[in-house]
Amino acid sequence: MSMMGELNFFLGLQVKQSTKGTFICQQKYIKEILKRFDIEASKVIDTPIAMATRLDMDKTGSPVNQTMYRGIIGSLLYLAASRPDIVFSVGLCVRKSTSRMTHFLGSSLISWGTRKQNSVALSTAEAEYVAATSCCAQLIWIKQ
């Protein structure tokens, strides 16, 4: 019979077992995120973001690397599952998805629009589903 040994890491979680109980920590995962996305020198704050904070477009800023941004957001969404103190901040960053729609009757454009999505999507597939739902609602309104 072979023994696997004590569990130390599981899906990015550090597991520490003692006589007082089992404790989990994601410090190693956080350090790996900071290193992977080269943000180790980022500004540190002691408190989460204020509830009244709004994110506006930085029109003079440089374009964002969407692949890296999605990677950071995905990593933070995974981290937020065990860190309720960052859920609002991560949700605020995730919510920058925008639905765009155009409606044609034959080959004629009859309606178009863009709208910031009201809910936080946990995946790109879910964001597409939200956009499709919004588009269908607009089509039903046009039909009536």
C-alpha closest to that of 82 among 137, 34, 24: 24
Residue with tokens 């969407």: 66
Tell me which DSSP letter residue 122 carries: S
What CA–CA distance (Å, rounded) separates 128 from 53?
A: 26
Rounded (10°) angle between helices 27-36 and 66-80: 170
What CA–CA distance (Å, rounded) separates 86 from 80?
A: 6
pTM over 0.75: no
Tens of pLDDT along the chain (144 residues)? 556 677 787 777 888 888 898 888 888 888 888 899 888 888 877 777 777 777 777 888 888 888 888 888 888 888 887 788 888 888 777 767 666 778 888 888 888 777 776 666 666 677 778 778 878 888 888 888
